[in-house]
Amino acid sequence: MVAPQDCERMIRSLGWDGLRALWDNIENRSTPGWDAGQAFEYLVIRAFQLDCALVKWPYSVTLFDEVVEQIDGVVYCSGLSCLVESKDFADKTVDIAPIAKIRNQLLRRPAGTLGIVFSRTGFTNPAINLSYFSLPQAILLWNGPEIRYALEREKICELLTLKYRACVKDGLPNYNVIEGDIQ
């Protein structure tokens, strides 16, 4: 198992070009030096950091001397405070479990906290539907093509704001940022 401090050191050495190369490796299932899923978790947080967001790397939450939560990261940008969950499955889309998990984590946070779930392979219809019915605990969904789009444009914070506005305006937690602007 790769130690968290080693993961942080490896990912902090990468700029945007390095993240795009790592993304290609993640998509090709070739991430030597990383445990399963770790490269994806750290890539997401690093992208926000490169885009000037304040971030907290993956960590555990202890309550009454017991670990009660594993958090993939926290992002503060554009006035938004977000818990991050990242899933990189080899050959399946994300089901409802990560959506339910982050919804429960949001219940222990201030009302304005957003959940963001990143999935390289996308989401099942039940997972998307659950995200719609999780409001007022807003859970915004990001798929693989949107992640690539954010990395190419080097503007993940701006795209997060766009997703958030779509959720506020139309109640769309899975708004696709590639498809266009929201007025």
CATH number at residue 9: 3.40.91.70
Cβ contacts of 33 within 8 Å, gap of 6 or more: 2, 10
Find the helix or strand (DSSP H, E) in which 68 lies.
strand 66-71
Report residue 140: phi and psi, to 5°.
-95, 135
Q: Residue 156, by phi and psi: left (phi above 0), alpha (psi -120 to 50) or beta? A: alpha
Q: Which domain holds residue 21?
A: 4-179
Measured CA to CA, the distance from residue 168 to residue 134 in angstroms comes to: 13
The model's pLDDT over 73-83, given as tens digits with 9 standing for 90+, comes to 999 999 999 99
Q: At residue 183, does pLDDT exceed 50? A: no
Q: At residue 175, does pLDDT exceed 90? A: yes
Predicted local confidence at residue 147, as pLDDT: 97
Single-letter code of the amino acid located at 56: K
Total number of domains constituting the chain:
1
Cβ contacts of 175 within 8 Å, gap of 6 or more: 140, 162, 163, 166, 167, 182
The model's pLDDT over 106-118, given as tens digits with 9 standing for 90+, comes to 999 999 999 999 9
Let me know: does 167 contact 175? Beta carbons within 8 Å.
Answer: yes
